[in-house]
Structure 1
Amino acid sequence: MIRDATIDDVPDLVELEIRCFDTDRISRRSFRRIMQHGNASLLVDVDDAGRIAGYSLVLFHRNTSLARLYSFAVEPELRRRGIATALLDRAETAARDRGAASMRLEVRMDNAAAIGFYERSGYRRFSTYPDYYEDHMDALRLEKPLAPHLAPDVAPVPYYPQSLEFTCGPACMMMAMKALDPAMTLDRTLEMRLWREATTIFMTSGHGGCGPFGMALSIWRRGFEVEVHVSEGVGLFVDGVRDDDKKDVIRLVHADFLDELRHTGVTLSYAPLTLAEIRDRFDHGRIPIILVSAYRLTG
């Protein structure tokens, strides 16, 4: 049975640490602190005799969608019985329920069995930490996306690589429109034209970037139906600049985009879409363009 750990489990967890790890063990005090004050999910697998067969500890990062599998252990004599797979699955579910979009973890470079287990479970290598453990062993970093995947034939969207560092928005618009209208020609002229139309001018010391309202207008003008869902109603990126004059410019552009949208067929909502609503739109052939802050994702 897999359940949330309690304070009463701490002595058994400490003993399990001793049997599973030679270094970098979690202390009794740390287990108690995590349970009482940590932003974490600590699950235990308990056998029919009431013994803890394994545990998973996932840490969450405030203001990001990353979860971290901080520690994971299964009783040595009970391995290869599906306990690790069940625990990892529940840990991922707990992370997903907390809004995490991906799970990251570190594992010793010399632990081939653990690396193989994680890779079979869908984790992919992306980096290393030199001299990470107490005995100076390097750590291999792995990551797995937790969001459900679309089948690749649901929306065959062509790929268009942005040609400039500030044209990610136009590139996404071009790929989405091309998927819905195969006759559309994708080139740098269209890329720059879309950027000029949709820029919010929020990077007032350099090139402007594209926001949802300007992008919606550009796509709508080309004959496509558009919905916009935003998380807040105030001017976007105002807090990104300090100068009051620059803040006024951003607010002015924001207000002008909204005024234009009122005279179009664009649907504007300040409420998030549910999973059911997203699936319904996929079923009707719509293509999402998602604007996110990388800071919100990775801190």
Structure 2
Amino acid sequence: MTEAQAPRLTFRNAEKRDVSQLVSIENQCFILDRLSHRSFLRMLEKGHSDIIIAELNNVAVGYALLLYRRGASLARLYSLAVLPEYRGAGLGAALINQAEQRVRAHDCVYLRLEVRPDNLGAIKLYKHLGYRQFDVKPDYYEDHSEALCFEKRIIYPHPVTRLQVPFYCQTTEFSCGPASLLMAMAGLNRDIAMTQADELQLWRESTTIFMTSGHGGCGPHGLGLAAWRRGFEVDMYLSHEQVLFIDSVRSQEKRDVISLVQEDFMRQLEATDVRFHYCNITMQMLINHLDAGHIPLILISTYRINRNKAPHWVVLTAHDPHFIYLHDPDVDNEHHASESDNCYVPVSKAEFVAMARFGRSQLRAAVVISRRSLDSASIGQS
């Protein structure tokens, strides 16, 4: 075969005109969980994504679809497809290599993916390319099959020591605080249940009654009190002593209720050994807590994630020289997100400092929980 006759493999970004070809590849490669014409079009128009098309002699033979998480250094290989007649020639590995180059250009520290446990060929390929399994998601696919979650560190290959914190997805739009507290408590005590009933019970105990709109969210006072009642030590860090979230509502009646709720929480907290620190918790303080096995809940603004200025609770789970890692209980199912996009999410330390504040007052709040020592347990029971 002459050089001119040799197969020529090229890669390019997908465009709107390629949607029909992408759907054709999708339908030839998959029986279930297929992406539709509308889904591909939405990815190209609005998605925080890349679609890479592999062409052999100018004929589309496969694609890789990457999703990026806004505000985090994380990417996900949402779909990888190679036409059946072209498999076994290294095209899958070549597409993954292209995907990794894109991820590296986006400064993403991890590339993650899901795969069916019966897709042995794909699992072998991923392991060969340096991916490791880090989780299993039950009832993930359309036929209720579980998914194996794999990841590969793309940049900054420093070792990461992770706290073993299970993931829990909030079941309502207003219960990020209770969901985060459930994860933190279960990370310290495996006997802690993580159910919707427990989530809503925590919300009932911790809610501020009113927030920006709709149902009230949970503030640090209520969450700290709920954790203490369940046998944990609590350190609470607040940037100021004023009533929290009061600037987020306009009605004076609602502002008065928020004030009364916080006053009541403070009265209850005075009877506990919860430790208050009126200061901005620093990155080094957070790192020290993580190294000691303590689990911080942090209040952030979602503006740097989805451009909505809403208060939101997340759980810190790890750190390394470049990143802080978090569990975010709010899974964006409308944009093809999965739980693996929301656990151990790497956020650059500078980005995290910018997002860990809320409102005009630049409120910074953290609730750090840890296992109760024998001495403190006796104090709590006295």
Give me the TM-score of the superposition, normalised by structure 1: 0.55
- 1:294 paired residue among 308, 323, 326: 326
Whether the 8 Å CA contact 2:235–2:276 is kept in 1: the answer is no
Determine which structure has the larger strand proportion and give its number: 2
Counterpart residue type for residue 87 of structure 1: L
* Whole-angstrom CA distance in 1 between matches of 2:276 and 2:71: 24
The residue that corresponds to 2:54 in the other structure is 45
Whether the 8 Å CA contact 1:16–1:75 is kept in 2: the answer is yes
- 2:157 paired residue among 146, 149, 152: 149
* Whole-angstrom CA distance in 1 between matches of 2:324 and 2:109: 12
Q: How far has the Cα of 1:243 moved from its partner?
A: 4.9
Structure 1 gaps, min length 5 = 153-158, 166-202, 210-236, 255-287
* Whole-angstrom CA distance in 2 between matches of 1:76 and 1:242: 62
* Whole-angstrom CA distance in 2 between matches of 1:17 and 1:95: 23
For 1:1-299, list aligned pairs within 5 A. Answer: 1-48=10-57, 50-149=58-157, 206-207=234-235, 238=239, 243=244, 249-250=278-279, 289-290=321-322, 292-294=324-326, 298=345
Q: What are the superposed Cα offsets for residues 74-112 of structure 1, whole Å, 9 maximum, x if unpaired?
A: 111111222111110111111121121101111111111
Bigger relative contact order (CA 8 A; separation at least 6): 2
* Whole-angstrom CA distance in 1 between matches of 2:108 and 2:145: 29
Q: How far has the Cα of 1:23 moved from its partner?
A: 0.6
SS state at 1:64 partner:
coil
Give me the TM-score of the superposition, normalised by structure 2: 0.44
Q: How far has the Cα of 1:207 moved from its partner?
A: 3.8
Q: What are the superposed Cα offsets for residues 51-84 of structure 1, whole Å, 9 maximum, x if unpaired?
A: 1111000111112222111000011111122211
Going from structure 1 to structure 2, the CA distance change for 1:12 and 1:293 (only over 3 Å counts) comes to closer
Q: What are the superposed Cα offsets for residues 202-222 of structure 1, whole Å, 9 maximum, x if unpaired?
A: x9974489xxxxxxxxxxxxx
Q: How far has the Cα of 1:118 moved from its partner?
A: 0.7
**Across the two proteins, how many residue pairs are aligned to each other?**
189
Q: What are the superposed Cα offsets for residues 271-295 of structure 1, whole Å, 9 maximum, x if unpaired?
A: xxxxxxxxxxxxxxxxx84462525
Going from structure 1 to structure 2, the CA distance change for 1:293 and 1:113 (only over 3 Å counts) comes to closer
The residue that corresponds to 1:189 in the other structure is none
Whether the 8 Å CA contact 1:238–1:247 is kept in 2: the answer is no
Among all aligned residue pairs of Structure 1 and Structure 2, give the percentage whose two residues are the same amino acid: 35
Whether the 8 Å CA contact 2:236–2:276 is kept in 1: the answer is no
Whether the 8 Å CA contact 1:64–1:295 is kept in 2: the answer is no
* Whole-angstrom CA distance in 1 between matches of 2:85 and 2:77: 22
Going from structure 1 to structure 2, the CA distance change for 1:75 and 1:293 (only over 3 Å counts) comes to closer
Going from structure 1 to structure 2, the CA distance change for 1:4 and 1:290 (only over 3 Å counts) comes to closer
* Whole-angstrom CA distance in 2 between matches of 1:63 and 1:238: 23
Going from structure 1 to structure 2, the CA distance change for 1:247 and 1:141 (only over 3 Å counts) comes to same
* Whole-angstrom CA distance in 2 between matches of 1:291 and 1:16: 37
Structure 2 gaps, min length 5 = 1-9, 164-183, 185-219, 225-233, 246-274, 283-319, 329-343, 347-382
* Whole-angstrom CA distance in 1 between matches of 2:89 and 2:66: 22
Whether the 8 Å CA contact 1:127–1:141 is kept in 2: the answer is yes
* Whole-angstrom CA distance in 2 between matches of 1:37 and 1:101: 23
SS state at 1:23 partner:
coil
* Whole-angstrom CA distance in 2 between matches of 1:46 and 1:242: 60
* Whole-angstrom CA distance in 1 between matches of 2:16 and 2:327: 34
Going from structure 1 to structure 2, the CA distance change for 1:67 and 1:243 (only over 3 Å counts) comes to same
